[in-house]
Amino acid sequence: MAMCKSHGQDSSYFIGWQEYEKNPYDPIQNPSGIIQMGLAENQVLVSFMAEIRRKKVKFDPKNLVLTAGSTSANETLIFCLAEPGEALLIPTPYYPGFDRDLKWRTGAEIVPIHCYSSNNFRITESALEEAYEQAQKLNLTVKGVFITNPSNPLGTTMSHDELNILITFAMAKNIHIVSDEIYAGTVFDSPKFISIMEALIDRKLEKSKMWNQVHIVSSLSKDLGLPGFRIGMIYSNNETLIAAATKMSSFGLISSQTQYLLSKILGDRKFIKRYIKENKKQLIHRREMLASGLANSGIKCLESNAGLFCFIDMRDLLKSNTFEAEMELWKKIISDVGLNVSPGSSCHCSEPGWFRVCFANMSKETLDLAMQRISNFVNSEGNLLPNFQQQPPLVAATGSRRIRTIANWVVKLSSGEGRTDR
């Protein structure tokens, strides 16, 4: 783990913080302790994090580090956990920006955990072991597993069983778990979101070594629709990591104006509860619009319950079962259909023919137009390949209602794949 002994923090300004941490005031436990008047506490943020997680987890403000967005949070965490040339295991498909955020400046490597549509891209014990063995073959030291929960691009939450498999694996290998939970507030349907911290608590691992080897990344970009505010968070029970991350965060601070506005927004508990409720309602509605529009064109999407997007299966429209054919179809959809589509291969999907579709970044009228363009395109394509007709049926879900469909298809309507707001 990264250590930093000299960071310009030997001034009285920072020494005051250190003395406070040694002897913090508490009205009952330590009434003669030092009262913190030099630092804005993160109470409102940890309260919001707990609210999003149905108060199943209690967060301690002193274990929270603020960064200028989740991109900075993820990079900072990897700087703290891995040396150049060491590796992280990441389930596929995953957000393409991780190749930049986790690798470019840290020098860390990514080894994919290959997941497949046969079980809806769920993590398995065998997939974890195979990825670990692959890292060993490449002479890479594995420092941890990095997950996104809810998943981008799948729009799904990890099950309790998956989280338990992951925790058991990490304990056996003595490695870390980083859980990017920036979409936790976008869960709009069952099953409910389970934070990695909640899974640890359920297994009564608070006193174990693993308690200090699990770290959460969070953000307000998706939960509150504030990508421009650039507010990211690192949460960890590991004091050494938090100390290192705190020092590194000084290179990407959040402005005082942003912090002031944030405290006002999060301090309005009634507004936050209303917003979360209304946001979920709107996401369900948009998800249903997309799913029903695709179903009308005979298109299936992976069953999802979170996020601002769906993962859709286009394998029947490929000329061959190859990533080259996927890229050919992708170019056709952009140039001929007029939809900004991103192929699954950009997300390191292990199977060709999958695409991510965003449904929350446009008006109802624009979404209707996109569905019409898709319908016109599908109707013009009469060359479905018979060897792909044997694909297992998927479900296009509209909320709790499930629609059986015939063809396999996918699109991703997002206009910001290269941006850092994900």
Query: For domain 271-404, which architecture applies?
Result: Alpha-Beta Complex (3.90)
- Please indicate whether the domains covering 40-267 and 271-404 agree at the CATH topology level: no
Is 95 annotated in the active site? Answer: yes
Contact 173, 142 (CB under 8 A): yes
From the list 149, 146, 147, 121, the residue with the least C-alpha distance to 52 is: 149
Domain boundaries, the chain: 40-267, 271-404
Per-residue pLDDT, 402: 30
- Alpha-carbon gap, residue 86 to 1, rounded angstroms: 11
Which residues are CB-contacts of 172 (< 8 A; sequence separation ≥ 6)? none
| Among 143, 222, 247, 412, the one annotated catalytic | 222
Lowest mean pLDDT among 188-197, 222-231, 316-325, 344-353: 222-231
Tally of residues, the chain: 422
> Crossing angle of helices 70-81/239-248, nearest 10°?
120
- pLDDT above 60 (res 234): yes
Please indicate whether residue 165 is annotated as part of the active site. no
Q: Catalytic site residue 180?
A: yes
User: Contact at 8 Å (CB) between 350 and 92?
Assistant: yes
Residue 5 annotated to the active site? no
Question: With contact defined as beta carbons under 8 Å apart, do 407 and 340 qualify?
Answer: no
Phi, psi of 257 (to 5 degrees): -65, -40
Indicate if the alpha-carbon torsion angle 294, 299, 304, 307 is positive or negative: negative
In contact, 69 and 93? CB cutoff 8 Å: no
Highest averaged pLDDT of the listed ranges 229-233, 292-296, 339-343: 292-296
Torsion of CA 231, 357, 157, 249, to 10 degrees: -20
pLDDT digits 0-9 by tens, 33-71: 765 544 444 666 677 777 778 778 787 888 889 888 888
Domain 40-267 CATH class label: alpha beta
For residue 340, with 0-12 CB atoms within 10 Å meaning exposed, 13-18 middle and 19 or more buried, which class applies? middle
pTM: 0.81
Distance separating alpha carbons of residues 198 and 78, to the nearest angstrom: 23
Other beta carbons within 10 angstroms of residue 256's beta carbon come to 9
C-alpha distance from residue 62 to each of 13, 39, 218, 239 (Å): 18, 11, 15, 9
Q: CB of 235 within 8 A of CB of 64? A: yes
Which of 189-198, 313-322, 382-391 bottoms out in mean pLDDT, i.e. has the lowest?
Answer: 382-391
Max mean pLDDT among 83-87, 260-264, 270-274 falls in 83-87
Tens of pLDDT, residues 127-170: 999 999 999 999 999 999 999 999 999 999 999 999 999 999 99
More confident residue, 121 or 360: 121
**Residues 95 and 121: beta-carbon distance below 8 Å:** no
Give the pLDDT confidence of 399-416 residue by residue, as tens digits.
333 322 222 322 333 334
Within 8 A by CB and 6+ apart from 198, the residues are 53, 56, 57
Look at 153-157, 182-186, 229-233 and tell me which has the smallest mean pLDDT: 229-233
- Token representation of residue 309: 């997007």
The residue from 95, 132, 183, 235 that is catalytic is 95
Task: Calculate ∠ Cα 206-210-214, nearest 5°.
Answer: 95
From 101, 180, 223, 316, active-site residue: 180
What pLDDT, on a 0 to 100 scale, did the predictor assign at position 382? 56
Q: CB–CB of 406/395 below 8 Å?
A: no
Which residue among the candidates 182, 231, 254, 272 is catalytic per the annotation? 182
Strands 232-236 and 214-219: antiparallel
Percent of the chain at pLDDT > 90 equals 43
Confidence category of residue 383, pLDDT binned at 50, 70, 90: very low
